[in-house]
């Protein structure tokens, strides 16, 4: 895979190359060049399968990390193309023209993280949540427990124990 990485590094502005396994590597690329790199991998380097597109919310750094995970069915290697985008007004170029299933991933990210992909088809349609009117729930500043308590009538009298201390007190009461 190292030849491929060198080739990518000579063509695109990349950083943070990580070889996780023999057949799995991750590379971070500038936002403007991300779709160009993904297209290059698909059309010239046989990474023809989109395994997934996913996002991570780095709240402290104020960025979303998008990962385009691509699979090469001929030599069974995988490469993850990582892109950092701003959390404020998060927008990313749409790649629905490259793979048909990209549209679904982009709909999901739009609903769960609030990342916009202008031009992606059926983006406004609800994906899992219907009629959601709060912060996108996968954002880390969305307080899911507070939301559940406010919305879903918690039954009074519910108790929670820390499993480690509770089992210790049950099994070794003398310690």
Partner 1 sequence: MNKHKFEDLDVDKFLAPENEKRSVVAPDGSTVEIDPLKDYFCQDRPEVLKPKSAPVEKFLNWARAESLWVLGFGTGCGSIEIPPLVTPRFDMFRYGVQMRPTPRQSNVFIISGYLAVKTLKRVIRTYEQMPSPKYIMALGSCTINGGMYYDSYNTINRLDAYLPVDVYVAGCMPRPEALLAGFAKLKELIKAGKAEKANEYAENFDWYKANQKKIIKDWNMPDYNW
- Determine if 130 is a binding residue for partner 1 (CB under 8 A): yes
Question: Which H/E stretch holds residue 147?
Answer: helix 144-151
Q: Cα angle vertex 58, ends 55, 61, to 5°?
A: 140
* Region near partner 1 per CB under 8 A, out of 20-28, 44-52, 61-69, 136-144: 136-144
Among the listed residues 144, 166, 167, 169, the single contact to partner 1 using CB under 8 A? 144
Kindly tell me which residue out of 129, 166, 167, 169 binds partner 1, with binding defined by CB under 8 A: 129
- Position 62 contacts partner 1 (CB under 8 A): no
Comparing CB distances to partner 1, the nearer of 159 and 174 is 159
Provide the CA 6 distance to its chain's centre, in angstroms. Answer: 25
Element (H, E) at 86: strand 77-86
| Cα gap 10→17, rounded to integer Å | 13
Angle, vertex CA 67, rays to CA 62 and CA 117, nearest 5: 75
Pick one of 18, 59, 148, 167: the residue that binds partner 1 (CB under 8 A). 148
Nearer to partner 1, 19 or 144 (CB): 144
Report the distance separating Cα 52 and Cα 109, nearest Å.
11
Question: How many residues lie near partner 1 (CB under 8 A)?
Answer: 21
What H or E segment, with its residue span, contains residue 49? strand 49-58
The region of 29-37, 63-71, 97-105, 134-142 touching partner 1 under the rule CB under 8 A is: 134-142
**Residues contributing to the site for partner 1 (CB under 8 A):** 126, 128-134, 137, 142, 144-145, 147-149, 151-155, 158
């Amino acid at each position: 895979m190292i030849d491929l990485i060198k080739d990518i590094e000579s063509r695109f502005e990349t950083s943070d190359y990580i070889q996780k396994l023999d057949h799995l590597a991750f590379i971070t690329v500038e936002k403007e060049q991300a779709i160009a790199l993904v297209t290059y991998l698909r059309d010239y380097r046989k990474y023809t399968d989109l395994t997934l597109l996913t996002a991570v919310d780095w709240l402290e750094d104020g960025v979303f990390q998008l990962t385009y995970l691509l699979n090469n069915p001929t030599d069974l290697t995988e490469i993850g193309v990582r892109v950092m985008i701003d959390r404020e007004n998060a927008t990313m170029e749409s790649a629905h023209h490259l793979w048909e299933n990209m549209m679904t991933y982009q709909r999901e990210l739009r609903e769960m993280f609030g990342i916009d992909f202008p031009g992606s088809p059926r983006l406004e349609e609800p994906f899992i949540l219907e009629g959601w009117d709060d912060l996108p729930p996968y954002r880390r500043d969305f307080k899911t427990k507070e939301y559940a308590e406010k919305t879903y009538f918690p039954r009074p009298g519910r108790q929670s124990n820390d499993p480690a201390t509770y089992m210790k007190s049950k099994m070794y009461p003398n310690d």
